Amino acid sequence: MSVLADVAVSGQIGRRAQWLSLLRWVVLTLIGLAILLGNELMGTLLPTGPIWGVLAGVLLYNALLWGLTERLARRGVSNQTLAGLLRAQIIADLLALTLLLHFSGGMENPFSLYYLLLIVIGSILLTRRDSYLFALIASVLWAGLLLAEATGIVPHYNLAGFRLPMRHQEWNHLIAEIVVLTSAAFFVSYLSSTLIQRLRRNERELYETNLACELRAEELAELNARLQEVDHSRIMFMRLVTHELRAPVAAIQSYLRLILEGYVPAERIEEIVAKAEQRANDQLALISDLLDLAHLRDNVHENQIEPCDAASVLEDVLDLMQARIEDRRLEKHVHVEPGLAPACAPAEHVKQIWTNLISNAIKYTPDGGEIRVTLSGCGNMLRGIVEDTGIGIAPEDQKRIFEQFFRTERAKSASRQGTGLGLSIVQGLVERYGGEIRVESVVGQGATFYFTLPTISNEHCVLSMSSERAS
Amino acid sequence: MAKILIVDDDPDFCEATRVVLESAGYQVVTAPDGEAGLRGVVDEKPDLVILDIIMETVLEGLHVSQEMANDPNKSHIPILMVTSIANTDYAALFPTDEYIHINGFVSKPISPANLLSRVATLLS
């Protein structure tokens, strides 16, 4: 049972104990009235002194117990202790009933049936085991009393005029009394405890369901907040894209106007045109990123995939990047396992994956750093690793870098250029062909991107990349 | 001749503006973001600041103009705000209900003649 359910139950124990005490006041009052009425109607048949004594004892402990359990529960007393207190009360009640029966005719008194009521009450308040315990105690007390009275160990008080005086020594009847009460006691404890257990289980299930509903509601609220956040960032993104798309055009237009209107000295015209062209190239790169991203959603047909040699694609990409790598005085290490099977992805897309990952490595690694590119086989998959000694990615950002338009603060301050789309595109491509991608990084020490792509022999292979970084 | 500080994160815009202003004989310095712009105001003591509204963060330029307005050492320097936000989504973000400490607007792409006449007016 969960801790929360326990708390709920301990609140219940307090309420149940209070109910028991209340019940006891009612019974005491009724017995008191019955004795007074009996004496009035039939004269004094019984030793009223001891009976009043027993009632006074019950009255005393009931008064002491009034509200006690609830106070203890609030003070954080354990459920076990509270249950023990209740158990002791029921046993005291059984004893009191036995004494009352003894002083009011023993076997002759039909109120022996009240043992069963106490057992039912015990089942309601406590566990099934307690219920059987009460049945046992009741049986022993009743049998003990009848035998003690029959054998004269204790005196028998005859209900004169109500029962025949010698009935308490008729052995057949006596044994029948004991057997009936004992069997009835155990039967009642079985029935009532079964019933009460079922009720309690239902109650607990209801409680747990409620709890689960509350948790679910919290989850939904959280999800809703997240959706709103996504929506908000989408709007902000649209604004950003609009701005990013306008800015290069405005810059190019400004340059052209300067030349046309004669503000640029002749010797600088070539330089300014080159700047305008560079800007146009940047613009094209952004637009093609946006298009790639949109194309990722297109359906892919297996039979349309033309496999390619990932190693030679890598070679081409590295050739294209060579100038930038030299510019930044980066140390480049390339390791390609010979004889790899072709990748089950078109050359155009494999090229995009390599280009994006390697150009990120170059962009975010300080001058003089190191870049390591590895391509190897892993069962029916190819595994590419692009490692750098750059600025790195903080743990909280590592999941988000694959989100569209997300750029870390460090990336933004390291390089102004970047649409925040490159890694989304790479992830989309890798997953599209049945591969996986992930990153490991330590801020300030560098980042390592691992990806897999299926070879033509098989499309699905479990990644076992985690041990790589350590080596 | 007057010194003009251009604050814009777009290097091409800085360059184009510089060419126009230098053709008219002004001395030009540039800063790539709001923070560097505020430093430039102190270090370079320009006679005029040309400020882009949208830089790394939206409305960063507006923030710079407010900072300048709150500083008595800077509040006397006229500001020409450059914007490409007219008729875009950003226009909705632009605060219209409060006083903006700027002395004029020009829009991107720059019209050289217009830019020079606005600058000349503000400096006179």
B19/A258 CB distance under 8 A: yes
Chain A contacts of B108, Cβ < 8 Å? 246-247, 250, 254
pLDDT mean across residues, chain B: 82
User: What CATH number should be reported for the domain whose range is A302-454?
Assistant: 3.30.565.10
C-alpha A460: how far from chain center: 32
Q: What are the residues whose beta carbons fall under 8 Å from the beta carbon of A348, sequence distance 6 or more?
A: none
Residues in chain B, overall count = 124
Q: Which residue has the higher pLDDT, A407 or A119?
A: A119
B108 interface with A at CB cutoff 8 Å: yes
Give the ipTM of the model, two decimals please: 0.83
Of A264, A268, A275, the CB nearest to B12: A275
Alpha-carbon gap, residue B15 to B45, rounded angstroms: 20
Name the strand (E) or helix (H) holding A157.
Answer: none
Ranges of each domain in chain A: 3-218, 302-454
pLDDT mean across residues, chain A: 83
A250/B9 CB distance under 8 A: no
Residue A430: name the closest of A454, A406, A407 by CA: A454
- Lowest-confidence range among A102-116, A395-409, B50-64? B50-64
CATH 3.40.50.2300 for the B3-123 domain, yes or no: yes
| For helices A171-260 and A128-150, angle between their N-to-C axes, nearest 10 degrees | 170
What phi, psi does A196 have (nearest 5°)? -70, -35
- Lowest-confidence range among A260-269, A320-329, A434-443, B93-102? B93-102
Dmax (CA) of chain B: 39
Ranges of each domain in chain B: 3-123
Amino acid at A62: N
> For the segment A189-212, what is each residue's pLDDT rounded down to a tens digit?
888 888 888 888 888 889 888 888
Cβ-based contacts under 8 A for chains A and B: 65
Alpha-carbon gap, residue A67 to A325, rounded angstroms: 83
Among chain A residues, the shortest Cα distance to B11 is held by A251
Section B57-72 average pLDDT: 78
Among chain B residues, the shortest Cα distance to A238 is held by B89
Of B23, B84, B112, the CB nearest to A250: B84
Give pLDDT, residue A460.
45
Q: Which of B17, B19, B53 to mutate to test the interface with A (most CBs of A within 10 A)?
A: B19
> For the segment A127-168, what is each residue's pLDDT rounded down to a tens digit?
888 999 999 999 999 999 999 988 888 888 877 666 666 677
Question: Nearest CA to CA, how far is B114 from chain A (Å)?
Answer: 12
Question: Nearest CA to CA, how far is A255 from chain B (Å)?
Answer: 6
DSSP readout, B67-89?
HHHH-TTTTTS-EEEEES-TTSG
Section B14-43 average pLDDT: 91
A239/B13 CB distance under 8 A: no
Chain A contacts of B12, Cβ < 8 Å? 248, 251-252, 254-255, 275-276, 279
Residues A96, A50 contacting (CB under 8 angstroms): no
- Lowest-confidence range among A173-182, A317-326, A370-379, A446-455? A173-182
Give pLDDT, residue B54.
66
B10 interface with A at CB cutoff 8 Å: yes
Q: Does position A177 have pLDDT exceeding 50, yes or no?
A: yes
- In the three-class reduction of DSSP (H, G, I as helix; E, B as strand; rest coil), residue A461 is classed as coil
Q: How confident is the model at residue A281 (pLDDT cuts 50, 70, 90)?
A: confident
Chain B contacts of A253, Cβ < 8 Å? 109
- In the three-class reduction of DSSP (H, G, I as helix; E, B as strand; rest coil), residue A180 is classed as helix
Residue A285: name the closest of A389, A366, A355 by CA: A355
Question: Nearest CA to CA, how far is B72 from chain A (Å)?
Answer: 31
> For the segment A41-59, what is each residue's pLDDT rounded down to a tens digit?
766 667 778 888 999 999 9
B12/A412 CB distance under 8 A: no
